[in-house]
Amino acid sequence: MLSTSVAVLRLAWQSVRRRPLSSFLTALVVALGVALVVAVETVRASADRSFTETARGYDVILGPPQGSPLQIVLSTLFHVDEPPGTLPWSAYDAIRKDPRVAAAIPYAMGDTYRGHRVVGTVPAMFEVLTDGEGRALQDGMRGRLFGEGRFEAVVGSVVASRTGMGIGTTFGVSHGLVEGGQPHKERWAVVGVLRPTGTAHDRAISIPIATFYAIPGHTVPDQEEEARPLSAVGVRLKSPALRLLILQESRTGKAEAQAVLPADQVRKLMAIVGDVNQGVTIVAWIVTVVAAVSILVGLYNTIQGRRREIAVLRALGARPAHVFGLILLEALILCLVGGAFGLLLGHGAVAAAAPTLLGSYGVRVDVGIGGHDLQMLGALVVLGLLAGLLPAWRGLTTPVADNLQAEP
């Protein structure tokens, strides 16, 4: 019984190899579909993880009262979108002194240098915020962090590679997010370059918050500390469980700031992004299913030319189930060989692109084979069996006596 099954499997393999070109092409289409699914899934999972991890940096973000919570989170954590307004320095002072707060990081934003956002903040930010793997941003950096109140800057890896800025480079800042504004006369010196972290800070230039207000042409230059406007304050609590309490207090308190929960906002965002991703994943799966259909059609068409072969097998004692299994296995082999190749191709492409994605775009993708691949192989087995069903049925119903007489 077992030896017969092994023999049928061998026959199927020999049969697939007998048509090298058509087998190669059908397997290739399967491989491309699978590679596409793998790539899309990897990027999706990586984006999910990166967003979620970044959001974990702060339990609460204090933003201007008028902005939407999502806009506050996007502009503060991901440097996407403009900060929707300002909140007074006093709000930062108050939260900083709150005994429940472990760390409060002020942000002043609104300027760019050569297309890269300039963030006024404090050195502690590089310790509080982490990358997707939980490493602090300052880990593995070249040079050092800027000193409070000094005209020094820390740049992200993408900024460094795109602009050629390095330790010792000096630069002036133009006002406003749009380029082409009047360059300011103050100059900052780069004292540190972050390692590629896969976070928004790869694309940002950070300077001490006090020097941010020293920018002439700024809406509020040279003011007393208390009157300086902030874009946001990132807050790490001693216990994350306190965040709902802070949120509630903010709602009932003075309307100079609003508290938002980054984790909630990112979850909402992922729900939207997830829909788009799902669309792409469905397209990738359609490619794979089309590949399975091409297996079906290709195999079905071979049966006509293999009537004598099938009749001979039957004359030698093969049972209908053997013929059925033989053709089913051929479909399965094409599907799984193509699929295995596609998994390698997909993961290989992702692995090959990962350093570039991280270095030039600040996007970290997770390389590696996971449980998703097993699911994928399971789905391919089902697809292969489905693709083989009709050709196998045709083989099963091929008349024996009539086809034994055919010319060789």
Partner 1 sequence: MTADALALTVRDLRKGFPDPGGRRVEVLRVDRLDLERGRTLAVVGESGSGKTTLLHVIAGILPADAGTVEIVGRPMTGLGETARDRLRAEHVGYLFQTFNLLSHLTALENVTLGMTFRPRAGTVPRRLAREALDRVGLSDRLAYRPPQLSVGQQQRVAIARALAGRPGLVLADEPTANLDAVRAKESLDLLLAFAEECGAAVLAVTHDDRALVRFQDRLTLGMGV
Interface residues with partner 1 (CB under 8 A) are 1, 3-4, 7-8, 11, 14-15, 17-18, 308-309, 311-322, 400-401, 404-408
Name the nearest CA neighbour of 68 among 334, 255, 260: 260
For partner 1, which is the closer residue by CB, 203 or 314? 314
Give the integer Cα–Cα distance in Å for 308 and 152: 83
CB of 309 to partner 1, least distance (A): 6
Give the integer Cα–Cα distance in Å for 286 and 278: 12
For partner 1, which is the closer residue by CB, 245 or 315? 315
What 3-state DSSP class applies to 170?
A: strand
For partner 1, which is the closer residue by CB, 161 or 403? 403
CB of 266 to partner 1, least distance (A): 58
Give the integer Cα–Cα distance in Å for 371 and 320: 37
For partner 1, which is the closer residue by CB, 7 or 374? 7
CB of 408 to partner 1, least distance (A): 5
The answer to whether 33 and 342 are in contact (CB under 8 A) is yes
Structure tokens that stand for 370 in this block: 């996971």
For partner 1, which is the closer residue by CB, 1 or 255? 1
What 3-state DSSP class applies to 22?
A: helix
For partner 1, which is the closer residue by CB, 241 or 401? 401
For partner 1, which is the closer residue by CB, 315 or 369? 315
Structure tokens that stand for 388 in this block: 């083989």
Four-point Cα dihedral 63, 74, 158, 209, nearest 10: 0
CB of 365 to partner 1, least distance (A): 44
CB of 16 to partner 1, least distance (A): 10
CB of 18 to partner 1, least distance (A): 4
Name the nearest CA neighbour of 87 among 221, 244, 226, 287: 226
Count of positions (residues) in the chain: 408
CB of 331 to partner 1, least distance (A): 18
Give the integer Cα–Cα distance in Å for 295 and 31: 12
For partner 1, which is the closer residue by CB, 106 or 325? 325
The answer to whether 118 and 111 are in contact (CB under 8 A) is yes
Give the integer Cα–Cα distance in Å for 164 and 353: 22
The answer to whether 137 and 201 are in contact (CB under 8 A) is yes
CB of 294 to partner 1, least distance (A): 22
